Structure 1
Amino acid sequence: MGFPMPVFSVSDPADPRVAAYTSIREKDLTSGHGGRFIVEGKVTLETLLTRLRFAVESLFLAESRLEPLKGLLSKVPAGVPVYTAPQDVMDQVAGFPMHRGVLACGLKGNIPQPGEFLAKDEPRSGPLLLLSDISNHDNTGACFRNAAAFGAGGILLDERCCDPLYRKAIRVSSGASLFLPYAQGGTGLDMVNAVLSAGYTVWAMTPRAEAAPMQSLPVPDKLAILLGAEGPGLPDDIIAAATPVRIPMSGGFDSINVATAGAIALAHVFGEKQG
């Protein structure tokens, strides 16, 4: 076929070379196994290979996807093995039907704490998005996608948030968590205090009636938009440390999905900056 790198065939689902891909629906590799993470699908694989933020350990492809992906495979770094298997073998390894037939294993490396992230002398042209206690992978992925779409300069997550490099979060983010700068660790209040100390104004998004309507506030040059868990929302001590801000809604309804709220706030700020 003339592929630009060696391709290794796998015929046994128990082959140790593809152990990282075993039963990926049920496990999160990011906190163990060397801090690996799984990328699924062509779009996210292309992001992984072209952005080059994270090291690539291996690829695992269905045999039928080799030829269609030939151009993309030319971007695989030298020395990274590409494994391929018949569709039924790949399905057995993954633990469910791999309709896309495209997987890759990346290495997480060192993710900075929020304080370390803020201490870096790097220009950031957009607002920061802060996530506290967001434990749903779909919401985390959607927040990353929205942040990338509306020009956020980075994302900070506290220790209670789920990992944005979990397979599902990466997929929902449309690959944004593979390139958007982020940091994670510490409590939500620690994160907010670190951002305040770095000279940012923090908008704590909340449906509370006493919060200022978002459109009534000037957009600061250094802004961080803080989102909390759906249901309980942000705790009192975090809201008290920041500027409470609400998105006006129709009477009798005061709650929307957290990722949607983030998108509205980011789009508002983006529009103000563009204008």
Structure 2
Amino acid sequence: MPEPILIVDAEDPRIEPFRDVRERDLVGRSGFIAEGTVVLDQLLQAERFRPTAFLILRNRLEGIRSRLAGLPADIPVYVAERAVFDRIAGFPVNRGVLAHGTAAGTPWSVAAILARAAATGRPVVVGIEIANHDNLGAIFRNAAAFGAAGILLDETSCHPLYRKALRVSVGTALTLPWYRGGTGEAIVAACEAAGCRVLALSPSGDTPLTRLDRTAPAALLLGAEGRGLPASLMALCETVRIEMQPEVDSLNVATAAAIVLHALYSAA
């Protein structure tokens, strides 16, 4: 493990990547922020991402020293007391562990994720207009738990490496294959061309989940909470619904995804 560097001044320029992390979305500019030991563990084992620096609360250092033992010597490990740490981050970070990371290696492509689905028989999750960071993070966590081959997001969905989305995903956005970009129509066309059965999840879907043939390779389309999937996109797909009490309008999108993914996982 590199020798820890004590930071005593919150304005120290060396810790600039960690400054005001709540207000600054680092994605697409200078990397991303991983928060907490659970996400840190995923970052350390990720093949396509790598840490570039750490900021650790001083009294947490001994507890995570073993995790950092194999770090290259050129990756700085900064430590700070609570008052300085919170001034740097811009808010109280209860976990006391932050890592700055960046992409490394070749990112996943739509074709590669669909090929992985075809080879494994596992479903692909497709997110359309998923702008809520909590929902996206939970979708990633559920997809990883139930063995999805990967996640495809349209260009209007939020970035899965936004700090809050990454935290809610418990770091699975660093290890589960994903791609973000393009339109919903283009993604559906790619899924169909790859031989996937495209299933659009909607409370008004034609086929109840209990009657769904769960053996064919599937691409599961999820829409934004409230609006759901655009009608034009649903018209291109087979529509599926989760049966529930009639007085309940719908389920949270991540919850609905978990139910369908579990059904597909159980049938595999």
Output the TM-score relative to the length of structure 1: 0.92
State how far apart, in whole Å, the 1-side matches of 2:41 and 2:178 are: 20
Q: What one-letter code is carried by the residue in structure 2 that aligns with 1:15?
A: D
Provide the rounded CA distance (Å) in 1 between the counterparts of 2:98 and 2:156: 27
Contact 1:50 1:75 (8 Å CA) reproduced? no
Aligned to 2:198: 202
Q: 1:247-262 alignment to 2 at 5 Å?
A: 247-262=242-257
Give the AA of the match of 2:42: T
CA deviations over 1:140-164 (Å, ceiling 9, x no partner): 0000000011111111111111111
| 1:76-91 mapped onto 2 (5 Å cutoff) | 76-91=71-86
Deviating more after overlay: 178-187 vs 52-61: 52-61
1:176-195 alignment, distance < 5 Å: 176-195=172-191
Give the aligned partner of residue 92 of structure 2. Answer: 97
- In 2, distance between residues paired with 1:260 and 1:29? 28
Count matched residues.
267
Q: Which residue of 1 aligns with 2:8?
A: 11
CA distance in 2, matches of 1:177, 1:121: 17
TM-score (norm 2): 0.94
Letter in 2 for 1:250: Q
The counterpart of 2:69, out of the listed 45, 56, 74, is 74
**Is the partner of 2:126 in helix, strand or coil?**
strand
Partner of 2:160: 164
> Can you list the C-alpha shifts for 1:160-185, whole angstroms capped at 9, x where unaligned?
11111111111111111110011110
**Superposed CA RMSD:** 1.8
Counterpart AA for 1:153: A
AA in 2 matched with 1:178: L
Q: Is the 8 A contact 1:206 1:245 kept in 2?
A: yes
Residues 115, 191 of structure 1: 8 Å contact kept: no
What amino acid does structure 2 have at the position aligned with 1:84?
V
**How many Å apart are 1:100 and its aligned residue?**
1.2
Give 1:130's aligned amino acid: V
Tell me the SS of whatever aligns to 2:52.
strand
Q: Which runs of 5+ in 1 are unaligned?
A: none
Q: Structure 2, unaligned stretches of length 5 or more?
A: none
How many Å apart are 1:77 and its aligned residue?
Answer: 3.6
